[in-house]
Amino acid sequence: MGINFDTALGKSPQLLALREKRSEVLAANLANADTPNFKARDLDFSRVLQKTMPEPVMFAHTHAAHFSVEQPFLGAQLKYRIPNQVSLDGNTVEEHIEQAKYAENATQYQATLQFLSGSFNDLRSAFSGQA
């Protein structure tokens, strides 16, 4: 009887990749807090969690050095955040919200890492015959 890693690890590897990508998006929002007309974005996790996650999607290139931000990443769409109040220069980044979302995502990333670590420990125990 073989071990199926997809079954053993569940969706944790995909969730970890999504959380990593979301960290990049939220960090970009914070980095552009003072950029005129910058629009804050975030990944739409609800869509991903409502259905089974597909295999990773290859990004379409608009330029040799660029990725298309409109392509889904593991089924999550990159969407604009609706601000409570737009600044006078058209920027929609609200730093306190972005910082809170970043901290929340970091906590969820850490929890996913711990869950994945536990899954690897279970596999290690199964391989060594210790239960």
39 pLDDT higher than 70: yes
53 pLDDT higher than 50: no
d(CA 21, CA 127): 32
Whether 88 maps to a domain, the answer reads: yes
Q: What is the pLDDT of residues 80-94, one digit of tens each?
A: 988 998 899 999 999
What is this structure's pTM?
Answer: 0.70
Whether 61 maps to a domain, the answer reads: yes
Whether 105 maps to a domain, the answer reads: yes
Helix (H), strand (E), coil (C) string for the chain: CCCCHHHHHCCHHHHHHHHHHHHHHHHHHHHCCCCCCCCCEEECHHHHHHCCCCCCCCCCCCECCECCCCCCECCECEEECCCCCCCCCCCCCCHHHHHHHHHHHHHHHHHHHHHHHHHHHHHHHHHHCCC
Whether 6 maps to a domain, the answer reads: no
The total number of structural domains in the chain stands at 1
Dihedral sign, CA of 6, 11, 17, 18?
positive
Q: Which of 63-72, 88-97, 116-125 is the least confident region? A: 63-72
Whether 7 maps to a domain, the answer reads: no
Whether 56 maps to a domain, the answer reads: yes
Cα Rg of the chain, angstroms = 18
CB atoms within 10 A of CB 2: 4
**Which pLDDT score is estimated for 57?**
46
Whether 121 maps to a domain, the answer reads: yes
Instruction: State the residue range of the domain holding 48.
Output: 13-128
Whether 101 maps to a domain, the answer reads: yes
